[in-house]
Every structure is written in structure tokens, then in C-alpha cells.
Amino acid sequence: MVHIDSELVRLLMRAGYAAAWNGLHQEAIAIFDGVGAVRPESELPVIGAAVVALLSGHYEIAVKTLREGALDLNPNSALARAHLGVALRLHGEEDEGRALLQDVAMQTTDPDAATMALNVLAMTPDQLKPI
């Protein structure tokens, strides 16, 4: 297998998120699939794909992708759990999503996941919906 530098992987992930947030969903998925091919043990490109599903309004797919993809790869990923909390809330499972986000906010040592969870907990369901 060809070694891909970690800095290049981070850059590709940023490009994938930029594409996703700018409506280039197919391009974002292609980027995340590429990152997944060189980092098959990482849940991060799977989280990226779930974000594309969220931005596309496919909340059930995002929930499934996070549960059966990202969390299967890394059951302890606070970032995957925080994203799952968002997906659950958007899917209408407010209580389960909020409980998961509160758990992440209180128990994780990952500052990015904790900050995300706290910020999302402060949002109303209407504020949470992607624009």
C-alpha cells in the first residue's frame, strides 16, 4: 500500500467538508471515499459521508452511517457520537439525540467533540436544521 502523508489526509478532509458545505455533495463523497481508501481504519471519512447525508436532508441515512459505519470502526469516537446526536435530533429523535450529546459533553476528553456537543445542545430543533 502506498503511504499517504497525514497532512495530505487532513487537507483532503478539509476539501471534502468545503465541498459538502458548498453543495458539491457528489464531489465530497468522492473525496471522503478516497480518504477512506487510504485510511480504512479511520471513522473520520465515514463521519464526513454522514455530514453529506445530513446536509442533503437524508437524516436516516446519516444515523445508519454513523451507527453502522463510524461507530463500528471506532466505538469510542466522541466525534462520531456527537455527530450521531445531531443526526438523531434532525431525524426527530430529540430525546435520544440530546441524551447522547449530553453524555459526550460531560464525559469526553476530546475538546472538539465536547464543544460541538455543547453548541448543538444550545440550539433549538429549528436552529439545527441545515440551511
Residue 131 lies in a domain: no
- Do the domain assignments include residue 129? no
Phi, psi (deg, nearest 5) at residue 56: -90, -5
Number of domains within the chain: 1
The segments of the chain whose pLDDT lies below 50 read none
**pTM of this prediction exceeds 0.75:** yes
pLDDT of residue 108: 85
Q: What is the CATH number of the domain that holds 28?
A: 1.25.40.10
Task: Kindly report, residue by residue over 31-63, the tens digit of the pLDDT.
Answer: 999 999 999 999 999 999 999 999 999 999 999
Q: Does residue 15 lie in a domain region?
A: yes
Q: Is residue 49 part of a domain?
A: yes
Predicted local confidence at residue 53, as pLDDT: 98
**Which residue type occupies 13?**
M
Q: Where does 22-43 have alpha helices with state H?
A: 25-38
Query: Would you tell me the crossing angle of helices 44-55 and 25-38 to the nearest 10 degrees?
Result: 170
Assess if residue 88 is contained within a domain. Answer: yes
pLDDT at 1: 58
pLDDT of residue 93: 97
In a domain, 128, yes or no: no
* Contact call for residues 85 and 97 (beta carbons, < 8 A): yes
Is 46 contained in some domain? yes
User: Would you give the distance in Å from CA 69 to the centre of its chain?
Assistant: 11
The boundaries of the domain holding residue 84 are 6-123
Identify whether 94 is part of a domain: yes
